[in-house]
Amino acid sequence: MSGPAPRLTLAPGLVHVPGHLDRAAQERLRDAIREVVRAAPLFVPRMPRTGTPFSVRMTNCGPLGWVSDETGYRYQATHPETHAPWPEIPELARAAWDALADHPDPPQACLVNWYEPGARMGLHQDRDEADLSAPVVSLSLGDTAVFRYGGTTRKAPTRSIRLESGDALVIGGPSRLAFHGIDRILPGTSTLLTAPGRINLTLRRVGEPGG
């Protein structure tokens, strides 16, 4: 990482940090995530009840991982297909949490989403965690994403920004339950990855504060 990046407040508690990771740090984190995926292969989550597959593939690292299937959303300590424990959170991702989260406790989960061209994520809230005093810290690698955010109700007006490779985003405080999503990926906007697409890491606290 280079020197302190500028922080742009999009809404109270919602902070965009362009260029938090410089190119060298992006490359190191990319390589670390490749090791994570070797240990915990990408899987396709499914919507509760309907079983409809997501358009993104995902995996996790850390003590806990987020999964979704016909039975619901949840955190668990093992991969849903290999049943092995998740690998450790890469040091660079943990360092981003320490620099940006302003929270005394470490992250317990790091969700890794892989967006191929055409993948998207509809507006949603991150509300499966008990510790809502902790923010979600997001890191982007690869092609630029069009990120949409609104308020804490689904009907609130929305705006969009572009998240580029190396950008960080903090979703916390009054915006911790803000609706947000990814409208689309812009292929060819980064040379970091060998294939078009975007890796997104979201670091989270899961259990009660201090746990």
- pLDDT, one tens digit per residue, over 37-56 is 999 999 999 999 899 999 99
pLDDT tens digits for 74-109?
999 999 999 999 999 999 999 999 999 999 999 999
Question: Could you give the percent of the chain with pLDDT greater than 90?
Answer: 93
User: What's the confidence (pLDDT) of residue 211?
Assistant: 58
Evaluate if residue 168 carries a pLDDT over 70: yes
Residue with tokens 């070797």: 38
Q: What are phi and psi of 33, to 5 degrees?
A: -70, -35
Separation between Cα atoms, residue 8 and residue 100, nearest integer Å:
13
In order of start, what are the domains of the chain with their CATH numbers?
A: 8-204 (2.60.120.590)
E strands, 36-78, in order: 57-61, 65-69, 72-76
Average pLDDT estimate for 2-21: 90
For the chain, what is the mean pLDDT? Answer: 95
User: What's the confidence (pLDDT) of residue 40?
Assistant: 98
Evaluate if residue 30 carries a pLDDT over 70: yes
**Residues found in the chain:** 211
Average pLDDT estimate for 6-29: 97
Separation between Cα atoms, residue 121 and residue 72, nearest integer Å:
17
pLDDT tens digits for 178-209?
999 999 999 999 999 999 999 999 999 998 76
Separation between Cα atoms, residue 41 and residue 202, nearest integer Å:
17
User: What's the confidence (pLDDT) of residue 140?
Assistant: 98
User: What's the confidence (pLDDT) of residue 207?
Assistant: 85
Separation between Cα atoms, residue 171 and residue 164, nearest integer Å:
17
Evaluate if residue 149 carries a pLDDT over 90: yes
